[in-house]
Structure 1
Amino acid sequence: MEIDQPYGTPERDVMCVMVCGKLVDIDLHGRRYDGLVGLIRAGGTDMSEAMVAASAAWEYARYDSDQTMPGFRAAACQQGRGL
Structure 2
Amino acid sequence: MDLKSVKEYFAWLYYQYQIISCCAVLEPWEQSMFNTILLTIVAMVVYTAYVFIPIHIRLAWEFFSKICGYHSSVSS
Give the TM-score taking structure 1 as reference length. Answer: 0.25
Greater strand share, structure number: 1
Higher relative CO (CA 8 A, sep ≥ 6), structure 1 or 2?
1
Greater helix share, structure number: 2
Rg larger for? 2
